[in-house]
Amino acid sequence: MDVLLGAQWGDEGKGKVVDVIAPRYEVIARFQGGPNAGHTLIFEGRKHVLHTIPSGVFREGTMNLVGNGVVVDPVIFLKEVRALEAVGVDVRSRLMISRRAHLILPSHRALDAASEADKGKAKIGSTLKGIGPTYMDKTGRNGLRVGDLSLPDFKERYATLVRKHERLLSLYGRSDAPKETEEEWLDAVQQLRGFNTVDCEHYLDEALRAGKNVLAEGAQGTLLDIDFGTYPFVTSSNTISAGACTGLGVAPNRIGSVTGIFKAYCTRVGSGPFPTELEDATGEHIRKAGHEFGSTTGRPRRCGWLDLPALRYAVMVNGITELAMMKADVLNGMDIVRVCTHYRVGNTTVDRMPYDITSGIEPVYVDMPGWSSATSEGELPAELVRYIETIEAAVDVPITLVSLGPDRKETILREGTHVQ
């Protein structure tokens, strides 16, 4: 099983790469996160945003699996299914959901909002999709799972959990769980029963034994990992490659290649430290040129230069074997492109991510000549090739794919072939 994941703070363009390489795989499996993710794919002039469903759903002959590590909001999931069916995608025959995946309740969303409001200035900048509270119930052993939908007492279990949430909400000074969305949720749950569910650990074991190629598709990014990200400004799941093992029930010795997706610059949405952030006209230029607005929340993304110590960290904790560099075209036309090679911490210079990057750390940059125009037609400009080679040398991993536009076709595989 190969793994594909984000090497920065999410929004690296994973959806596009999965879509491009999907023909190599018979199964594409999401292993963590939930509707906080927004994987954008553009082809044949149409834009598609996926939140819960794996990005292989557009390819005939590919099975898409929502793993046990994912949290599913039935309402959002059904909206996604309907949007896909409206453009002729046969979702139901290409999709399976793990029975062990946990359900997001409307009251989880209410708790997310209450917790963020309570944090005041220290808020995480959550997408408010109920992700944190749902994983809290999972580890607290209170959660409801997709497999529970077939239990005769599902409604009572639901009511018990909502009562617990109401008690928590009252601690935050909120009166009730949101009754207005309950009916819609219960209706969506009823419809969810019509989808194929599976024990994904067994399904994948059989698929791998039969010699099928499986791709595990991550959501968010390494620096949002609950353990190794910029805690507490992180999401509530393991976004790193180890998360593919726990989020799908696949043993570590079955992992093959690990592809890390990164942008030619950095972005971050929500709060938290971001050493190379540009709060100036250059940052604004990148935001506009790169359309850096959240695909789930529409929030403007914070933009900054490429951070090599952070990328090296991602290579290390994930065991990244190859890298895909996205959105190099966004930097077209810049005279100088800066790259952070080290951090200055007090009087010392370090080339690795310190425990705390909240304050007292300053990026050390090298300036590189920019490129005028890079497209997927013809040769890459020499300056961009130098940029790519500088990164490869710094992190000791090859960049095998370069993306130069949102469309499937605007992709260069570094062996020189174009994507069809």
134 binds ligand IMP (CB under 6 A): no
Q: In which element (H, E) is residue 11 found?
A: none
11 binds ligand IMP (CB under 6 A): yes
Q: Return the DSSP state at 224.
A: G
Tokens 């959806």 correspond to 15
CB of 237 to ligand IMP, least distance (A): 8
3-class DSSP assignment, residue 349: strand
124 binds ligand IMP (CB under 6 A): yes
Q: Could you say which of 14, 129, 312, 338 contacts ligand IMP (CB under 6 A)? A: 129
CB of 49 to ligand IMP, least distance (A): 11
- Tell me if 401 sits within 8 A of 394, measured CB to CB: no
Q: Could you say which of 113, 192, 219, 244 contacts ligand IMP (CB under 6 A)? A: 219
Catalytic residue list contains 39: yes
Binding range to ligand IMP, per CB under 6 A, among 30-38, 304-312, 345-353, 377-385? 30-38
CB of 223 to ligand IMP, least distance (A): 10
Count of positions (residues) in the chain: 420
Which residues within the stretch 256-275 sit at the binding site for ligand IMP (CB under 6 A)?
269-270
Catalytic residue list contains 356: no
What CA–CA distances, in Å, run from 298 to 8, 14, 45, 192, 402?
A: 19, 18, 21, 27, 26
Q: Name the residue nearer to ligand IMP (CB basis): 38 or 381.
A: 38
DSSP 293-343: B-TTT-PBPEEE-EEHHHHHHHHHHHT--EEEEE-GGGGTT-SEEEEEEEE
Residue whose C-beta lies closest to ligand IMP: 270
Cα–Cα distance between 40 and 80 in angstroms, integer? 13
32 binds ligand IMP (CB under 6 A): no
Binding range to ligand IMP, per CB under 6 A, among 94-102, 119-127, 313-321, 379-387? 119-127
Buried/exposed code over 7-36 (b: 16+ C-beta within 10 A; e: otherwise)? bbbbbbbbbbbbbbbbeebbbbbbbbbbbb
Active site residues: 11, 39
Residues at the contact surface with ligand IMP, assessed by CB under 6 A = 10-11, 36-38, 124-127, 129, 131-132, 219-220, 224, 233, 235, 269-270
